[in-house]
Amino acid sequence: MNIGIDETSYKKGHKYITVIVNRDTNTVVWASQEHGKGVLTQFYKQLTPELLSSIKVVTGDGAKWITECVNEFTPDCERCVAPFHVVQWAMDALNEVRREVWREACAEFTRLSKEHPLKNGRTKDGDPNTAILNAAKAKADEIKNSAYALGKAPENLTENQQNRVAMIAEDNNRLYRAYRMKEMLRLLLKIKDGDEAGDALKRWLWWASHSRIDAFKEQYLKLKRHRRDHILNAIRLGMSNARIEATNNKIKLIVRKAYGFRNIQNMLDMVCLVCSDLRGHFLTENLEVHDQHKHWG
C-alpha cells in the first residue's frame, strides 16, 4: 500500500486539517484537525501490525515530523518527497529574491528622487531628471510585475511575458540567475532515470551552494541531507503529486462549503464520506469509527 500525507488549510490563521490518502485507490482513509507529529502519531497508533507492514511508500512534503513518524512506525517503507513540493520551495526562493530586488529598485528610485528633484514636483517632457526617474520607476515596476512570468515554464510564456523575462535577463543578473536555478530544478525533476536525476541534482546543489544568493543557499541546506534521498525516491518510483492534488481539490471544495458547518468535525466527516470509497453504508471491516471520527479504510 502507498499512502500520501497532505495538509490543507481550512481557515485563515494557520488552521489545518491532516488528510491521509491511499495512493493506490486515490481515496481518503483518515482525516484529523490540526497537523504535526502528534496528529500523525495518532493515525499510526490506530493501525494493526499487519496494516503497518503493508505500507510500502509514504509521500508528503519535506516536513521533519513526517519523516520522524515514518522512521518510527514504518522504518522499512520508502519515504518520498513529491517533485511538486520541491518546485514550490524553489518558487518560494525565487519570489524572495524578486522581492529583495524590487525593494532595492524602490530604494534606488527614492535616492534618485532626492538627487534629481523635479521642478514644481511634476514630470516634464524633455527634462533630464524626468527621464532618469521614469527609467528608475519603470525598472522597479517591471520587477514587481514579473512574478507571474518568472513562475511559468518558458514554453508557456506569452510574447509579453517572454519580453519581460528577457528584460530581467538584461537588467538584473541576480534575479535572472534565481529564475534559471528554479527552471533547472524543475526540469531535472522530470528526469525518469534515477541515476541521471541524482547526478543532475548533485550539480544543482553545488550551483545553489555557490550561487551567492541567500534564498537558494537555504534551499541547498534544506535539500542536501535526507530530503535529497527522498526526492530521488519519488523520481525512481514515479510518485508524482497529480493524484493527491485531485483529491486535494475535492477537499478544498468541501472546505469552501463547510463554512456553514457548526464545527470542524462535520467537515472532517464530509471529507471522509465524499473522498473515500464508502458507498451507502459503513463496512466495519473497512472503517473504524473512533471517538474523534477518524477513518481508516
Q: How many domains does the chain have?
A: 2
- Same domain (yes/no): 73, 201: no
Domain of residue 54, residue span = 2-82+239-275
Q: What is the pLDDT of residues 235-280, one digit of tens each?
A: 999 887 777 778 878 888 887 776 656 677 777 887 877 777 764 4
- Same domain (yes/no): 122, 194: yes
- Same domain (yes/no): 251, 201: no
pLDDT at 125: 66
- Same domain (yes/no): 130, 256: no
The span from the CA of 190 to the CA of 179, in Å, is 17
CATH number at residue 254: 3.30.420.10
In a domain, 297, yes or no: no
Which grid coordinates are listed for 44? 499510526
Question: DSSP string of 130-171?
Answer: HHHHHHHHHHHHHHHTTHHHHHS-GGG--HHHHHHHHHHHHH
- Same domain (yes/no): 124, 202: yes
Closest C-alpha among 66, 27, 32, 70 to residue 52: 70
pLDDT at 74: 95
- Same domain (yes/no): 201, 110: yes
Q: Report how far Cα 235 is from the mean position of its chain's Cα atoms.
A: 17
- Same domain (yes/no): 182, 106: yes
φ, ψ at 168 (rounded to 5°): -65, -40
The span from the CA of 235 to the CA of 251, in Å, is 26
pLDDT at 294: 47
pLDDT at 80: 94
Instruction: Give average pLDDT by consecutive 10-residue segment, the chain, 297 residues.
Output: 85 78 86 88 93 93 92 95 91 97 94 81 69 89 93 93 93 95 95 93 95 95 85 90 78 73 75 69 39 44
Residue type, position 62, single letter:
G
The span from the CA of 90 to the CA of 186, in Å, is 8
